[in-house]
């Protein structure tokens, strides 16, 4: 089922996987609201959409701020009339450090964006999807392999992604009476989108190694599979990663 006539909200839509997701959804016929902190990067994504840009709405949003999230979904309803899909993609990156050296400000930044921001967007989407006609919709949370198995020196990121896993499960359960499906996509190493070489990653034995990557198309194909499902079916969890990436057994 294509996205023609359907409306998606993508957070973190100005760069990285958010931009890749947005462009893939545009190409599949979706109308999109793009959220992110910087208007200029959102508008760059819209420009890349080319002929599909007429189905775009760019809404600068800090998803850690509840009033801005409410304004985002108010704008989407006013412009498009409904919300069929939320891709909760936005997160925050901080330096990887041993736990004893983690700065509290970095911890809070990750939690405020990745956990609280994901919750706030899901809550607003849930409110819209529950009341609209036809009722229902889909929420896809961007998790990570670290939602299941941690990497060294990444305690804030790991904890946040474990929390997203809990949000996904709770939303799936609470959404059942309202035809709201919720799933999670966990993406492994993606080839750097800027063409730079893959940097070495810390391994559990203390070494560093350059790991295998997959092209971003493997991610967007997986996301579109999840988004295309009718609401009586759900991909609950989907992990896509390089076959040789040290995930199982990496601890």
Q: Compute φ and ψ for 29, nearest 5 degrees.
A: 100, 0
Q: Compute φ and ψ for 210, nearest 5 degrees.
A: -80, 120
Q: Rounded distance, CA 44 to CA 79, Å?
A: 20
Catalytic residue, from 87, 157, 219, 237: name it: 157
Measure the CA angle with vertex 218, ends 175 and 199; round to 5°: 110
- Residues 54-65 as b/e (b if ≥16 CB within 10 A, e otherwise) read ebbbbbbbbbbe
33: helix, strand or coil: strand
Phi-psi region of 32 (alpha: psi -120 to 50; beta: other; left: phi over 0): beta
Q: Rounded distance, CA 118 to CA 223, Å?
A: 17
Could you confirm whether 157 is annotated as catalytic? yes
**Helix-strand-coil percent breakdown of the chain, rounded to 5?**
45, 20, 35
Taking the CA of residue 12 as centre, how many other CA atoms within 13 Å lie in the half-sphere pointing to its CB? 19
Q: How far is CA 169 from CA 103, 147, 173, 176, in A?
A: 30, 12, 6, 11
Q: Would you list the DSSP string of 126-163?
A: HHHHHHSSS--EEEEEE--GGGTSPPTT-HHHHHHHHH
Catalytic residue annotation: 157
């Amino acid at each position: 089922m294509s996205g023609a006539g359907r409306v998606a909200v993508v957070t973190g839509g100005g760069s990285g996987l958010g931009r890749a997701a947005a462009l893939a959804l545009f190409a599949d016929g979706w109308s999109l609201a793009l959220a992110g902190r910087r208007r200029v990067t959102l508008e760059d994504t819209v420009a890349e959409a080319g002929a599909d840009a007429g189905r775009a709405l760019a809404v600068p949003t800090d998803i850690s701020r509840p009033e801005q999230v409410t304004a985002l979904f108010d704008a989407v309803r006013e412009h498009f009339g409904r919300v069929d899909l939320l891709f909760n993609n936005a997160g925050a990156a901080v330096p990887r450090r041993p736990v004893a050296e983690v700065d509290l400000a970095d911890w809070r930044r990750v939690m405020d964006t990745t956990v609280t921001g994901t919750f706030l967007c899901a809550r607003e989407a849930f409110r819209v999807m529950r009341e609209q006609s036809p009722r229902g919709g889909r929420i896809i949370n961007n998790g990570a392999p670290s939602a299941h198995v941690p990497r060294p020196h990444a305690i804030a990121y790991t904890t946040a992604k474990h929390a997203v896993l809990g949000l996904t499960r709770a939303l799936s359960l609470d959404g059942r009476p309202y035809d709201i499906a919720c799933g999670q996509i966990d993406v492994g190493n993606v080839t750097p989108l800027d063409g730079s070489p893959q940097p070495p990653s810390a391994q559990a034995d203390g070494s560093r190694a350059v790991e295998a990557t997959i092209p971003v198309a493997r991610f967007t194909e997986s996301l579109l599979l999840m988004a295309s499902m009718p609401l009586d079916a759900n991909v609950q969890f989907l992990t896509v990663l390089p076959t040789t990436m040290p995930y199982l057994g990496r601890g």
